[in-house]
């Protein structure tokens, strides 16, 4: 039986408390039958608990894992012995800040930092971090959070925009709200009214007209809030709502079931019910417009994944999805995605890329799209990428080795690591090779012998050298050229004996990380060129690589900018020879495309897939305030290198 989030959290705590040795993230993931991503969330929550208890946080030692000290074990044991098990629930930051917003909107209770510390069992620092994240998100809705020492936190801004933001956050916690009784107490004063309005709204659902249940519940929250506070949307907002002719069925229903609502509120409820239809007979936007948006999204997806979308079927499917969902996007009617955890666990690298891709829609609509919606779109792109990967021809490779199985196994790993197109089908002795027939494209041998076929044979040393790597890449490109397939990287590069991706420490070296003492008015193009120089010096890229990144920034600038002042720069695959990564921390922030930048990553992808493990690792770093603080406070480049390497290494 698969463990619940609560059970996994408690099991992880017990595992770490019981162990006197280091435990790796992989071992915890195997023990709990969970993804590494889930384990990092659990570790983050354990750290939040330790901070709450004024204890020292867990630290991960590269190459070893995690080990709790005596004080940490004592604090956790004492804490969880006293806490009722049904009240312990492991929440990620998204769930926490979504609950905070929902309570500020819908609950009549007074909320301050202490209230949320007790509700989530986290530290003051964590609550402040969550509230800052909320402020960052709701700035896109032109609203804010205010604080009064007497009344606590409250939402400030136009009610119409506050409701849009409420839908955005509510989609993240719909499953928790409906399944976790302990959270119901947060809205205890409103529960009966919300349920009453929710049951009324469910009457509109018929066999031919179904509505998203999450939307019905969210609308019930809004109605309950209005009936309690009488704070409605301004009359002039009626012009922004759908006309009554377009919502005739919903409007008639609202007038019958909610007679006490004023006209403007009836119009609002009618509009949001109409937007919540699961299927729509008549699309809202012109299909040509939706197709144009889909193509723009595909351009950005290619920019980050190096996967070019050549499928008109996928374009058509995305356009149809955008067309049917456009009303929801326009009015902020987000819906929950019950598969979001599985999607993020299985396709997290694609999810991260699609999160940047949907900025095409966000720019068009002027509001953010939440993770549930991004999850739906991720399935389109992940499905296409998986289908594409199955079409890639592999180089069937045989290894001939004279020394033992352990050496053969090591060689197999090293050779497959050189190029993702190599697939080793076996490791045999020279005698076995001469006695049998093998259907292969390439033979790599550590011993000399007389060839019996035209199959290409390349002799290497038992421990693969840089020269061996270059030779193997050259062989792969020759074979791929003969098969009339796409060449990546080019044969000319291979002749210069520039290897492919190689091991992580070849991709990302200590000397590729530094702290620069730049001026406040420094030219970002110059700093970007300096960030590329180590890779150019080692032959990963040409000297003009930074100019291609500049072109991408000029064209797609805001897609390359991440929170906490990160810029992730890269060019298309045809401009790089080897996969590499550099990092620069700036002394003074600079402006790039209207955004403040304080840290620069440069990644040099060479094909469609080999860089995805780096993106997966960076996705953890780029969205973590805690890890960002470690980067900001690090006193040396070597300390920064160890932090980044430890994150990427697990992927």
User: For the domain that residue 59 is a member of, what is the CATH number?
Assistant: 1.10.10.10
Q: How many domains does the chain have?
A: 5
In a domain, 491, yes or no: no
Burial code (b: 16+ CB inside 10 Å, e: under 16) for 61-78 equals eeeebbbbeeebbebbee
List C-alpha distances in Å: 132 to 30, 32, 97: 34, 32, 9
By CB atoms closer than 10 A (0-12, 13-18, 19+), residue 416 is middle
- The average confidence (pLDDT) of the chain is 81
> pLDDT tens across 261-271, in order?
999 999 999 99
Q: Assess whether pLDDT exceeds 90 at residue 561.
A: no
Would the pTM of this model clear 0.75, i.e. be above it? no
Is 229 in the same domain as 107?
Answer: yes
Residue 384 lies inside a defined structural domain of this protein: no
Q: Tell me if 362 is assigned to some domain.
A: yes
The pLDDT assigned to 500 comes to: 41
The predicted pLDDT at position 560 comes to: 78
**Is the pLDDT at 542 greater than 80, yes or no?**
yes
What is residue 232's DSSP assignment?
-
What phi and psi, each to the nearest 5 degrees, are found at residue 146? -110, 165
Q: What is the mean pLDDT of residues 574-590?
A: 91
Mean pLDDT of 426-440: 80
Q: What is the DSSP string of 523-571?
A: -HHHHHHHHHHHHHHTTSB-TTHHHHHHHHHHHHGGGGEEGGGEEEE--
Q: How sure is the predictor about 593, in pLDDT bands with cuts at 50, 70 and 90? A: confident
Strand residue runs (E) in 461-532: 513-516
382 within domain boundaries: no
Q: What is the CATH number of the domain that holds 410?
A: 3.40.50.2300
The average pLDDT across 410-418 equals 76
Residue 534 CA to residue 435 CA, distance in Å, equals 49
Task: Compute how many other C-beta atoms are within 10 angstroms of the C-beta atom of residue 208.
Answer: 7
- The answer as to whether 97 is a domain residue is yes
Residue 651 pLDDT grade (very low, low, confident, very high; cuts 50, 70, 90): low
* Structural domain range at position 478: 395-484
Q: Are residues 178 and 307 in the same domain?
A: no
Residues 274-311 as b/e (b if ≥16 CB within 10 A, e otherwise) read bbbbeeeeebbbeeeebbebbebbbebbbbbbbbebee
Rounded to an integer, what is the distance from CA 424 to the centroid of its chain?
Answer: 32
- State the pLDDT at residue 238: 86
Which of 87, 113, 145 is where one domain is finished? 87
Residue 601 in contact with residue 514, Cβ under 8 Å? no
Distance in angstroms (rounded) separating the CA atoms of residues 75 and 52: 10
Identify the top-confidence range among 258-262, 345-349, 440-444, 449-453: 258-262
Question: Is residue 496 over pLDDT 70?
Answer: no
What would the pLDDT profile of 18-66 be if each residue is shown by its tens digit? Answer: 788 888 888 888 777 777 767 877 787 788 778 777 888 887 777 788 8
- Domain of residue 642, CATH code: 3.40.930.10
Query: Could you give the C-alpha distances from 141 to 145, 165, 176, 241, in angstroms and in order?
Result: 12, 7, 24, 17
The pLDDT score that the predictor gives to residue 121 is 74
Between 557 and 330, whose confidence is greater?
Answer: 330
Is the pLDDT at 501 greater than 90? The verdict is no
Tokens of residue 113, six digits: 């930092």
Q: Which residue has the higher pLDDT, 173 or 619?
A: 173
Residue 477: what pLDDT? 72
Domain membership of residue 496 (yes or no) is no
103 and 171 assigned to the same domain: yes
d(CA 117, CA 109): 15
Distance of alpha carbon 487 from alpha carbon 508, whole angstroms? 24
Checking if the pLDDT of 222 tops 80, the result is: yes
563 and 430 belong to one structural domain: no
Q: What is the four-CA torsion angle of 128, 130, 136, 138, rounded to 10 degrees? A: -110
Same domain as 250, residue 142: yes
Say whether both 35 and 75 belong to one domain: yes
pLDDT, average across residues 497-521: 76
């Amino acid at each position: 039986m698969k463990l619940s989030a609560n059970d996994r959290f408690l099991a992880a705590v017990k595992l770490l408390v019981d162990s006197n040795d280091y435990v790796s993230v992989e071992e915890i993931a195997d023990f709990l039958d969970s993804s590494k991503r889930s384990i990092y969330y659990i570790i983050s929550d354990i750290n939040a608990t330790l901070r709450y208890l004024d204890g020292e946080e867990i630290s991960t030692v590269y190459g070893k894992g995690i080990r709790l000290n005596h004080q940490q074990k004592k604090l956790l044991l004492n804490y969880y012995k006293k806490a009722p098990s049904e009240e312990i629930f492991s929440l990620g930051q998204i769930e926490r800040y979504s609950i905070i917003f929902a309570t500020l909107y819908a609950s009549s209770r007074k909320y301050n930092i202490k209230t949320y510390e007790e509700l989530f069992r986290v530290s003051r620092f964590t609550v402040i971090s969550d509230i800052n994240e909320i402020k960052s998100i709701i700035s896109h809705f032109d609203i804010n959070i205010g604080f009064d020492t007497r009344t606590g936190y409250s939402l400030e801004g136009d009610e119409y925009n506050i409701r849009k933001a409420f839908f955005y956050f509510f989609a993240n916690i719909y499953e928790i709200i409906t399944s976790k009784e302990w959270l119901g107490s947060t809205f205890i004063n409103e529960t009966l009214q919300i349920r009453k309005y929710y049951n009324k709204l469910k009457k509109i659902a018929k066999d031919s007209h179904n509505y998203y249940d999450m939307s019905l519940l969210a609308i019930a929250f809004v109605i309950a809030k209005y009936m309690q506070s009488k704070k409605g949307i301004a009359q002039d907002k009626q012009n922004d709502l759908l006309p009554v002719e377009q919502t005739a069925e919903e409007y008639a229903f609202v007038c019958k079931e909610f007679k006490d609502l004023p006209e403007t509120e009836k119009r609002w409820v009618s509009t949001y019910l109409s937007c919540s239809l699961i299927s729509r007979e008549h699309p809202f936007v012109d299909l040509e417009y939706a197709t144009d948006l889909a193509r723009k999204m595909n351009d950005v997806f290619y920019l980050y994944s190096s996967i070019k979308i050549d499928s008109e079927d996928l374009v058509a499917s995305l356009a149809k999805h955008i067309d049917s969902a456009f009303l929801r996007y326009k009015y902020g009617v987000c819906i929950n995605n019950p598969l979001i955890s599985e999607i993020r666990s299985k396709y997290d690298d694609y999810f991260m890329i699609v999160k940047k891709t949907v900025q095409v829609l966000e720019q068009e609509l002027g509001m953010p799209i939440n993770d549930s919606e991004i999850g739906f779109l991720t399935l389109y792109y992940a499905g296409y990428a998986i289908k594409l990967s199955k079409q890639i021809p592999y180089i069937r490779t045989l290894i001939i080795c004279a020394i033992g199985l352990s050496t053969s196994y090591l060689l197999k790993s090293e050779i497959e690591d050189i190029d993702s197109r190599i697939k080793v089908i076996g490791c045999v002795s020279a005698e076995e090779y001469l006695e049998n027939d093998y259907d292969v494209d390439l033979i790599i041998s550590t011993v000399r012998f007389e060839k019996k076929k035209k199959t290409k044979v390349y002799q290497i040393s038992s421990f693969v050298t840089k020269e061996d790597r270059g030779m193997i890449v050259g062989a792969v490109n020759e074979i791929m050229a003969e098969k009339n397939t796409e060449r990546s990287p080019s044969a000319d590069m291979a002749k210069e004996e520039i290897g492919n991706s190689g091991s992580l420490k070849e991709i990302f070296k200590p000397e590729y990380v530094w702290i620069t003492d730049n001026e406040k008015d420094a030219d970002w193009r110059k700093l970007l060129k300096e960030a590329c120089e180590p890779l150019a010096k080692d032959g990963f890229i040409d000297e003009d690589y930074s100019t291609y990144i500049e072109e991408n920034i000029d064209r797609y600038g805001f897609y390359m900018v991440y929170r906490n002042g990160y810029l992730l720069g890269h060019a298309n695959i045809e401009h790089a020879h080897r996969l590499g990564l550099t990092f620069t921390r700036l002394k003074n922030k600079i402006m790039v495309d209207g955004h403040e930048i304080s840290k620069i990553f440069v990644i040099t992808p060479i094909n469609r897939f080999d860089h995805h493990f780096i993106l997966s690792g960076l996705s953890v770093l780029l969205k973590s305030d805690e890890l960002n603080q470690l980067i900001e406070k690090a006193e040396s480049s070597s300390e920064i290198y160890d932090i980044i390497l430890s994150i990427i290494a697990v992927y």
